């Protein structure tokens, strides 16, 4: 390749790599496998070695560069990095709003609500679109120059993705580590016998303090930006516009934020955000509320420490003590039995609490909770209260140990143990749940299924909630969600939601509405339907993804794609099992010099088997990819022997989880 050709190819490769970095780190939607990414990177690296004069500081190969530093240079912040006033209470949020409006008499005030991520605050300067400087907050006026460390973070672009970038663009944000990445890091450290890290925040902070950028590059750091501290040549009038501009320029921003017209809307959104918390891949410690109009920021000014235009609303964990009168058991939509604490009513964070979730049997055991105990309950923000501990000093000796019932409290069927995935945040964690196995016959499950089917976001059948579902089942009018479509207006109109002595009739008007909503539901998309069916492991996202691959419910019921995918999963597991290079586990072969003849024969056999399975995997993965299933290929476990060939496949098919596929297959089979 001549110089001119190389120059063209280098530009093209950089462009591609930047795009894939963005897709992977900012959008969380990679389009290519790690293997293909590495290929692009290696090609670029080789070309740059061949033509060193073509290397530029913003090339993706220059993320980890230079020698370890002796120390960090101090950086003076032209715009100070202030901190925020905090509150834990909704009342104080309202006071904040009063204060703001008092200082801006007669003006309309809008707010922006953003997540408050628990990370390390940083500032990054782009000059003419190029990342030139990055620093820590330090004392707010002077921080450390950590440019080299921040450049290793692939979420942070080295170049802004805009044609005519501002000559100066300084952005503020947070460096953090995702919970799953943190766990993976610690698992690896454990394997290598290294001391474990304490928590994501401290690890992120400790990583940025490293003097050797090569070490920083190995830490799974991520970043998110939420403010523009300085911008030459661009006009920004609102915080919402700033967030949009950051995103447009290719910087990572939060996916969830809201413009709110009033403080009451702020409060509602903060609550919504908290409910989303378990779905977010990182830890948040609350929300930040900011006045939207930047000219108002100027007029509001700041106190010595914090600006008056913003406040951090931290999710409170208010506690109270009360007596645990009894533990009852609730049966959920998928049959999972959940113990519920029946409490002596107590006032906590704005409301009277008489019930709280106990999650599962293990939780009760772990916390040593007994019926009759004085317990500590906690309400995080406005979400459902939970029992967090026992006041053992208050025990009288009359407390009873709780035992999960052996029969379903509703239908009396035997109870079985089932493995369930814990949370989205911690996917690896698997818990055991007690379940009523009477899927078709347990009225409690049917009621919950109908309620779920009709809810907003599913088939949107306003008028069918918990009580109506219960009565429909009780009166034998329906058994399963699909039976709803057989109901007549007349039947529904006569439905008694009360008792015989105190009837409460559903009525003609409501009945007509429901029947119309049902008619409308028939036109909804496959994704809607799939979600509404309430198949376990199939949430809104998975439903959408599965629906993308099929035309209708009947094609899904006999889906080859789903079977192929499951087959692929099995092959991958098998490949891992026979891998002759396995470094851990029972299938690990003895060290080279300790091998017997039989071991060597075993190695040969396994190498052949491994290659055979891997070629099947490749064929199947190809077929799936043709069917538009996105397969993320990861090296590690399937590394073929010595051949020097690039590693093969682990299917990290985020798009279609095996549990979800299994559930879909089971669902249609039953
Ligand atoms: S704005 C002058 N927005 O929280 C106000 N800060 O307790 C600048 N933080 O120092 C901060 N998420 O490190 C803002 N969406 C967000 C934030 C956020 C996290 C951090 C930031 C700040 C600290 C204040």
User: What's the pLDDT tens digit per position in 124-163?
Assistant: 999 999 999 999 999 899 999 999 999 999 999 999 999 9
| pLDDT exceeds 70 at position 119 | yes
Cα of 175 vs centre of ligand 1, distance in Å, is: 11
Select the more confidently predicted residue: 325 or 69.
325
| pLDDT exceeds 60 at position 395 | yes
- SS3 call for 519: helix
Cα of 242 vs centre of ligand 1, distance in Å, is: 15
Q: Is the CB of 227 under 6 A from ligand 1?
A: yes
Q: How far apart are the first and last CA of the chain?
A: 61
Cα of 116 vs centre of ligand 1, distance in Å, is: 7
| pLDDT exceeds 90 at position 543 | no
Per-residue pLDDT at 44: 96
Task: Give the atom of ligand 1 at the shortest distance from the alpha carbon of 115.
Answer: 15
Q: Is the CB of 653 under 6 A from ligand 1?
A: no
Per-residue pLDDT at 251: 96
Distance CA 155, CA 223 (A): 6
Calculate helix-pair angle for 597-626, 560-578, nearest 10 degrees: 160
**Inter-CA distances, 68 with 155, 177, 626, Å:** 22, 23, 46
Mean pLDDT of 117-130: 95
Q: Tell me the best of 83, 88, 123, 240 to mutate to test the pocket of ligand 1, counting ligand atoms within 8 Å of each CB and taking the most.
A: 83
Q: Which residues are catalytic?
A: 116
Among protein residues, the one whose CA lies closest to atom 16 of ligand 1: 116
Band of pLDDT at residue 497, cut at 50, 70 and 90: very high
pLDDT digits (tens, 9 = 90+) for 155-211: 999 999 999 999 999 999 999 999 899 999 999 998 888 888 988 999 999 999 999
Q: Is the CB of 312 under 6 A from ligand 1?
A: yes
Give the single-character DSSP code of 456.
T
Mean pLDDT of 330-337: 92
Residue whose C-alpha is closest to residue 223's, from 125, 122, 84: 122
Per-residue pLDDT at 584: 64
Q: Tell me the best of 119, 226, 255, 289 to mutate to test the pocket of ligand 1, counting ligand atoms within 8 Å of each CB and taking the most.
A: 226
Among protein residues, the one whose CA lies closest to atom 23 of ligand 1: 83
Distance CA 583, CA 637 (A): 9
Distance CA 27, CA 514 (A): 39
Mean pLDDT of 550-554: 82
Task: Give the atom of ligand 1 at the shortest distance from the alpha carbon of 82.
Answer: 2
Distance CA 202, CA 118 (A): 10
Cα of 99 vs centre of ligand 1, distance in Å, is: 20
Q: Is the CB of 121 under 6 A from ligand 1?
A: yes
| pLDDT exceeds 50 at position 355 | yes
Mean pLDDT of 631-657: 42
Average pLDDT, the chain: 87
pLDDT digits (tens, 9 = 90+) for 78-92: 999 999 998 888 888
Q: Is the CB of 664 under 6 A from ligand 1?
A: no
Per-residue pLDDT at 583: 65
Q: Tell me the best of 86, 111, 116, 304 to mutate to test the pocket of ligand 1, counting ligand atoms within 8 Å of each CB and taking the most.
A: 116
pLDDT digits (tens, 9 = 90+) for 259-277: 999 999 999 999 899 888 8
Q: Is the CB of 307 under 6 A from ligand 1?
A: yes
Q: Is the CB of 403 under 6 A from ligand 1?
A: no
Strands 430-436 and 386-390: unpaired
Q: Is the CB of 288 under 6 A from ligand 1?
A: yes
Select the more confidently predicted residue: 569 or 1.
1
Dihedral of alpha carbons 105, 109, 114, 120, sign:
negative
Mean pLDDT of 206-227: 94
In the chain, pLDDT over 70 holds for what percent of residues? 92
Q: Is the CB of 370 under 6 A from ligand 1?
A: no
Q: Which residues, listed in sequence order, are joined to residue 115 by a DSSP beta bridge?
A: 287
pLDDT digits (tens, 9 = 90+) for 511-542: 999 999 999 999 998 888 988 988 878 887 77
Mean pLDDT of 47-60: 93
Task: Give the atom of ligand 1 at the shortest distance from the alpha carbon of 86.
Answer: 7
Q: Is the CB of 173 under 6 A from ligand 1?
A: no
Burial of 400 (0-12, 13-18, 19+ CB in 10 A): exposed
Mean pLDDT of 337-356: 90
Mean pLDDT of 5-29: 91
DSSP for 304-361 reads SSSBSSEEEEEPPEEEEEEEEEEEEEEE-TTSBEEEEEEEEEEEETTEEEEEEE---H
Q: Tell me the best of 112, 121, 283, 305 to mutate to test the pocket of ligand 1, counting ligand atoms within 8 Å of each CB and taking the most.
A: 121
Per-residue pLDDT at 667: 83
Contact 343, 353 (CB under 8 A): yes
Task: Give the atom of ligand 1 at the shortest distance from the alpha carbon of 302.
Answer: 2
Residue 438 CB neighbour total at 10 angstroms = 21
Residue 357 CB neighbour total at 10 angstroms = 15
Select the more confidently predicted residue: 430 or 377.
377
Residue whose C-alpha is closest to residue 172's, from 195, 156, 159, 186: 156
pLDDT digits (tens, 9 = 90+) for 475-488: 999 999 999 999 99
Among protein residues, the one whose CA lies closest to atom 2 of ligand 1: 82
């Amino acid at each position: 390749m001549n110089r001119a050709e190389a120059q063209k190819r280098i530009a093209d490769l950089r462009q591609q790599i930047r795009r894939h970095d963005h897709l992977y780190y900012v959008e969380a939607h990679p389009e290519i496998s790690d293997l293909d990414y590495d290929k692009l990177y290696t090609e670029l690296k080789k070309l740059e070695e061949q033509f060193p004069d073509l290397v530029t500081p913003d090339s993706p190969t220059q993320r980890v560069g230079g020698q370890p530093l002796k120390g960090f240079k101090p950086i003076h912040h032209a715009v100070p990095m202030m901190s925020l006033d905090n509150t834990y209470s909704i009342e104080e949020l309202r006071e904040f709003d009063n204060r703001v409006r008092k200082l801006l008499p007669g003006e309309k005030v809008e707010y922006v609500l953003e997540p408050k991520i628990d990370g390390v605050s940083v500032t990054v300067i782009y000059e003419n679109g190029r990342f030139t400087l990055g620093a820590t907050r330090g004392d707010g006026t002077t921080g450390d120059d950590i440019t080299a460390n921040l450049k290793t973070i692939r979420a942070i672009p080295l170049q802004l993705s805009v044609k005519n970038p501002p000559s100066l663009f300084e952005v503020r944000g947070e460096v953090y580590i995702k919970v799953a990445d943190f766990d993976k890091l610690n698992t690896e450290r454990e394997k290598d016998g290294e001391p474990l890290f304490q928590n994501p925040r401290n690890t992120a902070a400790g990583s940025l303090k490293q003097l050797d950028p090569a070490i920083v590059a190995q830490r799974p750091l991520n970043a998110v930006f939420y403010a523009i501290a300085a911008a030459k040549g661009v006009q920004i009038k609102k915080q919402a516009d700033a967030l949009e501009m950051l995103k447009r320029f290719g910087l990572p921003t939060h996916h969830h934020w809201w413009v709110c017209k009033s403080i009451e809307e702020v409060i509602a959104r903060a609550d919504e955000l908290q409910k989303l918390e378990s779905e977010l891949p990182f830890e948040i410690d609350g929300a930040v509320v900011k006045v939207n109009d930047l000219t108002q920021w100027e007029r509001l000014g700041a106190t010595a420490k914090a600006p008056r235009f913003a406040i951090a609303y931290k999710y409170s964990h208010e506690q109270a003590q009360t007596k645990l009168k009894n533990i009852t058991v609730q049966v959920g939509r998928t049959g999972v039995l959940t113990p519920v604490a029946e409490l002596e009513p107590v006032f906590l964070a704005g409301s009277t609490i008489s019930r709280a979730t106990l999650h599962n049997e293990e939780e009760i055991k772990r916390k040593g909770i007994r019926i009759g105990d004085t317990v500590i309950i906690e309400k995080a923000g406005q979400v459902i209260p939970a029992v967090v501990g026992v006041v053992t000093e208050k025990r009288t000796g009359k407390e009873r140990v709780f035992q999960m019932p052996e029969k379903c409290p509703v239908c009396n069927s035997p109870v079985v143990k089932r493995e369930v995935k814990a949370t989205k945040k911690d996917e690896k964690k698997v818990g055991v749940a007690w379940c009523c196995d009477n899927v078709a016959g347990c009225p409690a499950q049917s009621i919950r299924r109908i309620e779920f089917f009709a809810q907003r976001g599913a088939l949107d059948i306003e008028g069918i909630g918990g009580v109506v579902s219960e009565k429909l089942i009780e009166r034998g009018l329906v058994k399963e969600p699909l039976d709803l479509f057989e109901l007549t207006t007349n039947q529904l109109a006569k439905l008694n939601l009360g008792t015989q002595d105190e009837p409460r009739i559903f009525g003609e008007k409501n009945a007509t509405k429901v029947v119309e909503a049902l008619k409308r539901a028939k036109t909804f998309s496959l994704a809607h339907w799939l979600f509404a069916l309430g198949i376990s492991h199939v949430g809104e996202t998975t439903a959408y993804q599965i629906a993308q691959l099929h035309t209708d419910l009947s094609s899904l019921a006999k889906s080859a794609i789903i079977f192929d995918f499951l087959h692929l999963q099995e092959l991958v597991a098998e490949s891992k099992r026979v891998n002759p290079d396995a470094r851990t586990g029972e299938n690990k072969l003895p060290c080279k010099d300790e091998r017997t003849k039989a071991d060597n024969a075993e190695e040969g056999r396994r190498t052949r088997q491994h290659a055979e399975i891997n070629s099947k995997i490749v064929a199947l993965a190809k077929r799936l990819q043709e069917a538009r299933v996105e397969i993320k290929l990861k090296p590690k476990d399937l590394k073929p022997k010595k051949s020097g060939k690039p590693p093969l496949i682990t299917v990290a098919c985020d798009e279609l989880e095996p549990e979800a596929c299994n559930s879909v297959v089971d669902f249609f089979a039953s």
